[in-house]
Amino acid sequence: MKVSTNGVELHVEEAGAGFPVILAHGFPELSYSWRHQMRALAAEGFHVLAPDQRGYGQSSRPEAVEDYDIVSLTGDLLGLLDHIGEEKAVFVGHDWGSMVVWTLAQLARERVAGVVGMSVPFVPRPERPPLELMRSIIGDGFFYILYFQEPGVADGELGADPARTMRRMLAGLQILPDNMPDPATMFANDGRGFVDRLPEPDRLPDWLTRAELDHYVEEFSRTGFTGGINWYRNFDRNWELTEQLAGAKVDVPSLFIGGSLDPVLLMTPPAATEGWLTDHRGTVLVDGAGHWVQQERPEEVNAALLGFLLSVRDENEAARP
């Protein structure tokens, strides 16, 4: 379905009826990334909605970088909740979608029955602007978030060959215990871009079919990557817009799901969030899974999700007058 809200039009995949669950994908993904969750959650009595978030797929792709700040991104999800006439939902995010739903749980607690982050744990608002912190750590080295800041540069590299980009992204974001990356090579400022640093897979992983990869390639060949990259260009703006969240915790029911081989968890380990999630219901690390955990290991992810969703739904229904 199409939903007009918050100045954009969102393409939304929908399944089931009952307590609402909104699934927010990450970079570079689509609502399609939740294909293994939609029917499974709907079959248990949930109304499941998965938008192509702004900048992606069949949804609007505003031109201004500022149109991708955290107020806009969280506002889209609240607008979707308003569209279906519900007061609350459980919000589930993966990758960048996790950052959006963690922030939404702080900005609009009254609308969030529960929050699930996948692959990116909750990160408290830092004392200094994020890009300044990154530059202080990386120095003159390469870091993809800093590389993404210059308009047109990363856009051009990722968009030059979408098949190469998506193949390497989907098949290469996994840390193997016997093949740990060399930091000196990974962060070397040697003229290589982002995709150049990702390994070229010998074959597709078992969890990704050629048809599934082709779907991503076709969509990003049509849209390009600028919309998603613009999310990264708002790190400092997001920090400025959320001054009221300094020191704020997440106090709705929460769950974290990640892959044990996800390289993101090397940079932001889930244990670092201890004390910041006041009603945390568990951290699930799926053994052997990489970054795309809900696509790689859907049965285990769905089981963890459903356990959390059913308990939150029951609590909300019991609290109704």
Number of H helices, E strands in the chain: 14, 8
**Torsion from C-alpha of 44, 13, 64, 152, nearest 10 degrees:** 100
Gap between the Cα atoms of 73 and 61, Å rounded: 12
For this structure, is 262 an active site residue?
no
Residue 88 phi/psi, 5-degree rounding, is -135, 155
Question: Which of 11, 47, 94, 291 is the catalytic position?
Answer: 291
Question: Which of 67, 95, 155, 262 is the catalytic position?
Answer: 95
Gap between the Cα atoms of 49 and 70, Å rounded: 20
Per the DSSP assignment, residues forming a β-bridge with 13 are 50
Burial class (CB in 10 A: 0-12, 13-18, 19+), 278: exposed
Per the DSSP assignment, residues forming a β-bridge with 5 are 8
Gap between the Cα atoms of 63 and 280, Å rounded: 38
**Helix, strand, or coil (residue 316):** helix
For this structure, is 94 an active site residue?
no
What is the set of active-site residues?
A: 95, 291
